[in-house]
Structure 1
Amino acid sequence: MILAEKTIVIQQHTFVLTNQRALFWKEAKSLILSDLHLGKTAHFRKNGIALPSEIIEKDLQRLSDLVKHFEPQKLIIVGDFVHAGKNSEFNLFSEWKCQFPELKIILVKGNHDRISKDKLYEIGVTEICEYHAEAHFIFSHEEVESEEKFTILGHIHPGIRMKTSVGRFVKFPSFVVTNSQLILPAFSSFTGLDTKNHPKNSRYYFFTEEGIYEI
């Protein structure tokens, strides 16, 4: 894994954006991500669509690498931790969590997180909430109005569309930042990209496997 970083300051707090679909909040020692969609590929396979199980295994390995690199005390998942009902990928996550027994996992519920809390606690989630407020920030899966706090959210799987030198268009996942919110890319590598429904006056930090870039 090539880890590229871009440091930004929001509300006098330091956030490290990465090309590995997550960010690190230095002051809170927290790794933050959204839209892991645990169980999505297994759900598709169950319904007759052949997808490799290696997709979620690679996502969890990437998460392991990030935890080892940043050494966070907390993992804040900003919604859509799971995709559907309990399946074989839940066992994979439970095994993953055993590597990091001291890591606290805070789950902000998303529209896909419709499974019972007990099943989430069983695989290592520490705390489940509708939104999480900490310092000057609110963590919410979807957009919320707040005049006092900066919002960090997910849900839309943001990306940008760029034209290449040969006239073709390519899409890249992106962090989207405004004066009042930061929208996280989907952590899952098996997701589409929304390149249109973004707030006005946004700054973009798009990334590739090799780097992260601001436009």
Structure 2
Amino acid sequence: MRPYLSIQLAGAELWLLADKAIYYPAERALLIADAHFGKAAAYRKLGQPVPHGTTDDNLQRLDALLAAYDCEHLIFLGDFLHAPESHAAGTLAALQAWRERHASLAITLIRGNHDKRAGDPPQHLGIIVVPEPLLLGPFALQHEPDPHPTHHVLAGHVHPTYRLFGRGRQRLRLPCFYVLQHVSVLPAFGAFTGGMNIERQENSRVYVVGDGAVWESL
């Protein structure tokens, strides 16, 4: 099975990636929502026993995506850093080393609610930070999934998940892309982010992610 699913949306082709991102071929752009770098570090600073290595894992996944797809522009749809405590030395050093491996890549962050609290990434990371929306082709790239008057919205913020039901009491909860008439929501890219179950609306499409593949839930 291919690690992406091509869909048509607002007259454009988008590739929904199994690693919870979108590739926009016409713009050679990779879209990432809710990375929440440094979330585990922020929780550890508060005395919570949470896993180590989540930032490195997320950056390795980004490396793999950039190697697999012809990308000129990496766009974060908000919540790049999780909290002020995410400016920990280890987290920033990992981000700096990653940025040096991709020095020629254009990177834009559309400021989300966590970014407003955490503060912008350090300038030496070379990330352009802008408010929402960022217009790209027929899309308004945002953090908040609020409708735009003229463009179809691609957003994050809610970390959507969808429940699949099998026989008996079998059920599965998976990250998903949630596509509505005017707004579409990406799953959270970060590995330590949690999720919110969506209640499917009429005339919507749900594309679930699991086991290295993307498929439409009917």
Give the TM-score normalised by the residue count of structure 2. Answer: 0.91
1:55 aligned partner: 54
The sequence identity of aligned pairs, in percent, is 27
Instruction: Identify the residue that residue 98 of structure 2 maps to in structure 1.
Output: 96
Question: After TM superposition, which residue ranges in structure 1, 4 or more long, deviate above 6 angstroms?
Answer: none
Q: Number of paired residues?
A: 213
1:141 aligns with 2:140: no
Equivalent residues in 2 for 1:1-215, closer than 5 Å: 4-85=3-84, 86-87=87-88, 88-114=90-116, 115-117=118-120, 119-196=121-198, 199-215=201-217
The separation in 2 between residues aligned to 1:125 and 1:133, in whole angstroms, is: 17
Letter in 2 for 1:79: G
* Unmatched runs of 5 consecutive residues or more in structure 2: none
Shift of 1:129: 2.7
TM-score of the pair, normalised by structure 1: 0.92
Conserved in 2, the CA contact under 8 Å of 1:41 and 1:53? yes
Secondary structure of 2:206 counterpart: strand
Comparing 58-67 with 200-209, which one deviates more in the overlay? 200-209
In 2, distance between residues paired with 1:211 and 1:112?
29
CA distance in 2, matches of 1:167, 1:144: 35
Instruction: Report the CA distance between 1:99 and its aligned residue.
Output: 0.7
Aligned-residue offset at 1:164: 2.6
The 2-side partners of 1:196 and 1:168 are apart by 18
Question: Residue type matched to 1:101 in 2?
Answer: A
Contact 1:90–1:123 under 8 Å retained in 2: no
Q: Distance in 1 between matches of 2:33 and 2:168?
A: 34
Higher-helix-fraction structure = 2
**Structure 2: which amino acid aligns with 1:165?**
R
Which amino acid is 1:20 matched to?
A: D
Point out where structure 1 has 5 or more consecutive residues left out of the alignment: none
Shift of 1:178: 1.4
TM-superposed CA distance for 1:60, in Å, is 0.9
CA distance in structure 2 between the partners assigned to 1:182 and 1:153 by the alignment:
6
Give the SS at the match of 1:112. Answer: helix
Q: Secondary structure at the match of 1:45?
A: helix
Per-residue deviation, 1:180: 1.2
Report the RMSD for the aligned CA atoms in angstroms.
1.8
Specify the SS of the correspondent of 2:8.
strand
When structure 1 is superposed on structure 2, of 26-35 and 144-153 the one drifting more is: 144-153
Structure 1 residue 3 displacement after superposition: 6.4
